[in-house]
Copies of this chain bind each other. A is one copy, B any other.
Amino acid sequence: MELKAFQDYLNSQRLKFTRPRRLIFKEIFSSKKIHPNAYEIHRRLKRKGQKVSLASIYRTLSLLVRCGLVSEIDFGENHSHYEPDVVKVAHGHLVCLSCGEVKEFSHERILTILSKIGKESHFMTDKFSIQVFGYCANCQKK
C-alpha cells in the first residue's frame, strides 16, 4: 500500500520515518473522504491524544505533496485542503457554497479533452484541478 511508498521515498532521500510523519500520514490516508486542511489534521490528532505541532504538519504535508502521495486542493477559501493520491482515476470536486459539502466525481472524458488541449498548446501537462461550485440538494430546499 501507500505507506510503503512513503517509507521508500524517505529511505531514498535519507530522511527519517518519525512519529509525527507516521501520525500525519495515517490521519490523511485513513480519512479519504475528508479533504482536511492543516488545522483540521492538527485538531483530529489532538483529539486522539496525539500532540504534533502545526509546523510539523505543514512540513510533512509539503513533503507528501513533493513525493506525489498527496494533492493540495483549493475550495475557494483562504487555505489549502489535502487529499491522498490513491491509485484511482483523477477526479474533480463538487463544492456546495452553502454548507461546504464536497462530493467527488470522475469522468474519463474530461481528462481526455484536457490532455488534448494541453497538447495543442504544447504544454506538458502535469495535473488538473477541476472544481464545480454550486448548491447541494439539501441547501437548495432552504
> Which residues of the other chain, B, contact A110 by a CB distance below 8 angstroms?
110, 113-114
> Do B97 and A126 touch (CB < 8 A)?
yes
Does A17 interact with chain B (Cβ within 8 Å)?
no
Does A66 interact with chain B (Cβ within 8 Å)?
no
Set B113, B122, B127: member contacting A133, Cβ < 8 A: B127
> Which residues of the other chain, B, contact A76 by a CB distance below 8 angstroms?
72, 74, 129
> Do B97 and A122 touch (CB < 8 A)?
no
Set B121, B126, B130, B132: member contacting A123, Cβ < 8 A: B132
> Do A117 and B134 touch (CB < 8 A)?
no
> Which of A5-13, A28-36, A101-109 lies at the interface with chain B?
A101-109
Does A96 interact with chain B (Cβ within 8 Å)?
yes
Does A135 interact with chain B (Cβ within 8 Å)?
yes
Does A38 interact with chain B (Cβ within 8 Å)?
no
> Which residues of the other chain, B, contact A134 by a CB distance below 8 angstroms?
118, 123-127
Set B74, B103, B114, B121: member contacting A74, Cβ < 8 A: B74
List 7 A-B pairs, Cβ < 8 Å: A103-B121, A107-B117, A109-B113, A126-B133, A126-B135, A127-B132, A130-B130
Chain A interface (Cβ within 8 Å of chain B)? 72, 74, 76, 92, 94, 96-97, 103, 105, 107, 109-110, 113-114, 117-118, 121-137, 140
Known: A107-B117, A114-B130, A122-B140. 6 other contacts (CB 8 A): A94-B125, A105-B121, A122-B136, A124-B140, A126-B134, A128-B130
